[in-house]
């Protein structure tokens, strides 16, 4: 399935994602890593560690609703894979991102922008395995 | 005040995710489908986010401390080990199967799509599995 190439809205959205990361650093001195934020909210170490994560997650979840309130449509979202793929992929994402201490936001945005050596290894690794996985599913096994 | 700031930060980040197209698995998977219906938009998302975070972090770090905490808590590890590489490789495989990553799926939950809830439930199961296969030795090391 083709999707439209959207360089301007994608770059603009990217700027906002980066701004979100900067605001969290300014306010709380933390890295905006979705894996760390979500797992810290599910398995909290203290009340203090839980509350800001819940507030941050609430803001994230509210964002499509805020967009709907302003422009009257929800952001487009097409799921081209089966529910089984979502479930299996999700478990692997959760296991892998927590073992590797980060995902697209933590290693990709925050880690690369502060030139973390670990992130400079992690990002090409997960980008490569994601591309190989999509190639195998779509072009070898003909998913 | 701290929690309100965190909520607004989540809203900025989530709006960026929605605007950028990261929330849409069809677009994400096409970014990785170099041999098929390739959509380079996500490279623009990453560029925008890196520009904003690289510049913004350096401005924020001119301060002695964040607004609501005593100090910046930035990961300082430089160790490249099997957990980092293997975990990141796994994360990429899961991302390529499902098309969602945690930072995109949390805001996507606000669209009310059941597939997103399924994905996040599976991610949390993956976090839990990680705690079984590789118990945490260090306090926390996100990204």
Overall domain count for chain B: 1
Instruction: Note the pLDDT of residue A143.
Output: 54
User: How confident is the model over B41-74, as pLDDT tens digits?
Assistant: 999 999 999 999 999 999 999 999 999 999 999 9
Least CB-CB distance to B80: which of A12, A34, A118?
A118
The reply to whether residue A96 touches residue B90, judged by beta carbons under 8 angstroms, is yes
Least CB-CB distance to A56: which of B6, B46, B101?
B6
The range of the structural domain enclosing residue B102 comes to 2-133
User: How confident is the model over B2-51, as pLDDT tens digits?
Assistant: 999 999 999 999 999 999 999 999 999 999 999 999 999 999 999 999 99
Residues in chain A within 8 Å Cβ distance of B62: none
The reply to whether residue B94 touches residue A74, judged by beta carbons under 8 angstroms, is no
This prediction's pTM: 0.95
Residue of B nearest to A18 (CA): B49
User: How confident is the model over A66-125, as pLDDT tens digits?
Assistant: 999 999 999 989 999 999 999 999 999 999 999 999 999 999 999 999 999 999 999 999
Q: What CA–CA distance (Å, rounded) separates B71 from A3?
A: 43
In a domain, B47, yes or no: yes
In a domain, B143, yes or no: no
The reply to whether residue A63 touches residue B10, judged by beta carbons under 8 angstroms, is yes
Segment B106-121 shows an average pLDDT of 97
In a domain, B33, yes or no: yes
What is the complex's ipTM, to 2 decimals? Answer: 0.96
């Amino acid at each position: 399935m083709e999707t439209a190439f959207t360089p301007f809205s994608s770059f603009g959205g990217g700027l906002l994602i980066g701004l979100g990361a900067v605001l969290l650093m300014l306010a709380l001195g933390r890295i905006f890593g979705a894996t760390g934020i979500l797992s810290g909210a599910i398995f909290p170490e203290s009340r203090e560690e839980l509350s800001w994560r819940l507030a941050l997650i609430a803001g994230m979840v509210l964002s499509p609703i805020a967009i709907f309130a302003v422009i009257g449509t929800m952001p487009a979202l097409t799921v081209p894979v089966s529910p089984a793929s979502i479930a299996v992929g999700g478990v692997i994402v959760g296991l892998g991102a927590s073992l590797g201490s980060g995902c697209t936001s933590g290693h990709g945005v925050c880690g690369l922008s502060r030139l973390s050596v670990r992130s400079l290894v992690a990002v090409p690794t997960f980008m490569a395995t994601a591309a190989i996985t999509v190639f195998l599913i779509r072009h070898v096994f003909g998913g | 005040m701290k929690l309100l700031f965190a909520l607004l930060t989540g809203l900025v980040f989530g709006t960026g995710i929605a605007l950028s197209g990261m929330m849409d698995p069809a677009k994400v998977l096409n970014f990785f489908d170099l041999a098929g219906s390739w959509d380079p938009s996500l490279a623009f998302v990453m560029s925008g986010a890196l520009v904003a975070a690289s510049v913004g972090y350096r401005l924020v770090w001119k301060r002695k401390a964040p607004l609501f905490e005593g100090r910046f808590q930035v990961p300082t590890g430089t160790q490249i080990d099997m957990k980092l590489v293997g975990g990141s490789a796994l994360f990429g495989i899961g991302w390529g199967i499902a098309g969602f990553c945690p930072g995109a799926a949390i805001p996507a939950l606000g669209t009310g799509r059941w597939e997103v809830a399924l994905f996040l439930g599976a991610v949390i199961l993956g976090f839990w599995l990680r705690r079984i296969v590789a118990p945490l030795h260090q306090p926390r090391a996100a990204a």
